[in-house]
A and B are shown apart, each in its own frame.
Chain A
Amino acid sequence: MNWYGIIAIWRFEMARFFRSIIQSIVSPVVSTSLYFVVFGAAIGSRIPEVEGVSYGAFIVPGLIMLSVLQQAIQNAAFGIYFPKFIGTIFEVLSAPLSAFEIVIGYVGAAAVKALMIGLIILVTSFFFVDITIAYPFWMIAFLILTCVSFAMLGFILGIWAKSFEQLNLVPLLVVTPLVFLGGSFYSISMLPPVWQTISLFNPVLYLVSGFRWSFFGMADVPVVASLVAVFGFTALCMGIVWWIFRTGYRLKS
C-alpha cells in the first residue's frame, strides 16, 4: 500500500475543506438552525408528538441525514471533478497509486468531512431540542456507512460529470427530492397507503429510518432492512468504482 500517497490525497482534500471553513462548516450549521427554528419551534409547536417523540426531536435524524448526504456527495464529486476540470488529475493517474488507494484518499476525505458536519449538526440540535440517543453505537455506524457510501456515489458522479451543470444536477434533482420524500420530516405512517408503498422504493427511507431507530428505537421499516439497504448500496457503489478504474472510464484515454 502507498500510504503516503493516500495520506497526501486525504490531506490535500481536507485542506480544501478548511480553506473554505465558512462555507464548509458555518453554512450547514446556520441552515440546520433555521430548520429547527421553522419546523421545530414555529410549525413543530402545533404538531402533536410523533409516536411519543416531540416533532422538534423527531426531525433531528432526518436533518442530519439531509446534510450528510448532500455534503458527502458534493465533497467527493467536487474533489475528483475539479482535478479533472483543471487537468491536475494527470498527477494522480501517473503516481504509483492503485485505484483502491485513490478511492480511499478521495472518498475517505469526503466521508470524514460529511461525518464532521453530521456531528456538528447533532451537537447544534442539542441547543434546540431534548434528545437522547438510544443506540449510540448504531447511530455512529449508520452515520459512517452513509457518509462512505454516498461519498462513493459522489465520486462516481464527479467522474461521470462533464460539466459543472451535470455535477450539480444529480444532487439537486435526485438526491434532495429523495431525502425530502424519504421520511426525513415525517413518519411514512402519516402518508396515504399508496404513497407509503411508493416510499418503500426510496432507498433514502431505509437510511433515515434506521438512523432514527438508533435515536428513538422506532422505525418505519425493520432495522435489518435498513442495514441491508446501506450495505447493499455501499457494495453497488464499490462495484461501479471498480468498473470505472478497470476500464479507465472518463479518466484515461
Chain B
Amino acid sequence: MAAIVKVDNVRKTYEGGFEALKGVSLDIEEGEILALLGPNGAGKTTLISTICGITVPTSGAITVGEFDVENDYREARRLIGLVPQEINLEPFEHVQNTVRLSRGLFGKARNDAIVESVLRDLSLWDKRASKIVALSGGMKRRVLIAKALAHEPRVLFLDEPTAGVDVELRKDMWTLVERLREEGVTIILTTHYIEEAEAIADRIGVINNGEILLVEKKDALMARMGQKEMRIELAEPLDAIPEALSGYNLQRAENGCRLIYTYDTAAERTGITRLLNDLQASGLVLRDMQTSQSSLEDIFVGLVRESA
C-alpha cells in the first residue's frame, strides 16, 4: 500500500538546545492504524505537531498525500485532522458552532448535514446547542474529535485520545476508530495504554528520546519478540533448583513453590517435553501448570529500557 504520510529524517531542536526529534523517518500507509508508543517526553506530540504544521522542523522533510507540509501546506493540511492531547476548547461557544468553525477553517463550505452526521456519530447531537463549559470531560473530548472530523480528513491524528477517559467512552472510541478505518481514513494514535495499541492498531511504532526504535506490524512484533512463560506449581517447595534441571532457563518463585520457565515461541523446539520428563525424573510432583504470552507492554518496557 502507498504511504500517505512520509517523514524523512526530521529533526527538531527547541530553543535552549533540547533535541526533541533526532532524525525521525517514518512512512505511514494509507488506511492503516498506526499506534505510536513512547514514554512521556519521548517526542510523540512533537512529531505529530510537526506533521500538522504547529511546530516547525529544524531539518528534514514531511509530505502528506505527496504534498510537502511547508511548501504545499494548504493541500497537505486539508487532508489532516488533529485531535490534540489537551482539551483545548472555547468554553463559551456552542458545540455545533465550534464544529462548524473547524470545517470553515479547513476551507470547506458550510454543510450542516455533515456536521450533524459527525455529531450523531459521537453521540453529541443532543448536546449540539450546549455550551462547551457545561459538558463533562468525556463529552469535551468527543467535541475535539468532532472538530477534527468536520472537514472529512483522510488522515486523523489522535494524540492520547483516551487519557483520563472512562472505560465506556474508550470502547466507543475504539469502535469509532474502527469505523473510520473502514471508510478509508488513516489513523495515527499516540497512547500510554498499551492495551489500546494492542486492541486496535495494525502497526506499532515505538519512540523514545526523539528516535523511532521500531515500526512493525503488531502481530509480527508480538510473534518476533513475544516470549512465553510456563509457570509450574509444585506440591512441595524447593530450596534450590536441582542439579539435573540446571540446564534449563528456570527461576524459583513464591519461596520455591513455583518454577518459571521462559521460552521462545518462534524457536524450533520449545523444550517443554524434555523439561517435563526431567521434572518427573527428578521426582518433583506438579500441582498445576499454566502458560502466558508476554504482552506488548512487556515488549515496550524492554525496548525502552534497552534504548535508555
Check: B107 CB closer than 8 A to any chain A CB.
Answer: yes
Q: Are B56 and A94 in contact (CB under 8 A)?
A: no
Interface string of A1-28 (1 = CB under 8 A from B): 0101101110110011001000000000
Q: Are B54 and A9 in contact (CB under 8 A)?
A: no
For residue A92, which residues in chain B have a CB less than 8 angstroms away from its CB? 105
Question: DSSP majority for the A interface?
Answer: helix
Check: A248 CB closer than 8 A to any chain B CB.
Answer: yes
Q: Are B104 and A4 in contact (CB under 8 A)?
A: yes
Check: B53 CB closer than 8 A to any chain A CB.
Answer: yes
Q: Are A96 and B101 in contact (CB under 8 A)?
A: no
Q: Are A5 and B106 in contact (CB under 8 A)?
A: yes
| Interface-lining segment among B34-42, B70-78, B214-222, B231-239 | B70-78
For residue A11, which residues in chain B have a CB less than 8 angstroms away from its CB? 101, 104
For residue A90, which residues in chain B have a CB less than 8 angstroms away from its CB? 54, 82, 84, 88
In the assembly, what is the distance between CA of A95 and CA of B106, in Å?
5
Which residue on chain B has the smallest CB distance to residue A253?
A: B55
Give the Cβ gap from A8 to chain B, nearest Cβ, in Å. Answer: 3
For residue A4, which residues in chain B have a CB less than 8 angstroms away from its CB? 103-105, 107-110
For residue B82, which residues in chain A have a CB less than 8 angstroms away from its CB? 90-91, 94
In the assembly, what is the distance between CA of A224 and CA of B56, in Å?
44
Interface string of A64-107 (1 = CB under 8 A from B): 00000000000000000011001110111111111000000000
Interface CB pairs A-B, < 8 A, 17: A4-B104, A5-B105, A5-B107, A12-B97, A16-B92, A19-B92, A86-B90, A87-B84, A88-B89, A91-B88, A91-B147, A94-B52, A96-B73, A248-B56, A253-B14, A253-B15, A253-B56
Interface residues in chain B, defined as those with a beta carbon under 8 Å from any beta carbon in chain A: 14-15, 52-56, 73-78, 80, 82, 84, 86, 88-93, 97, 100-110, 147
A-B pairs with lowest CB-CB distance, top 8: A8-B104, A87-B88, A95-B105, A96-B74, A96-B77, A94-B52, A2-B107, A4-B104
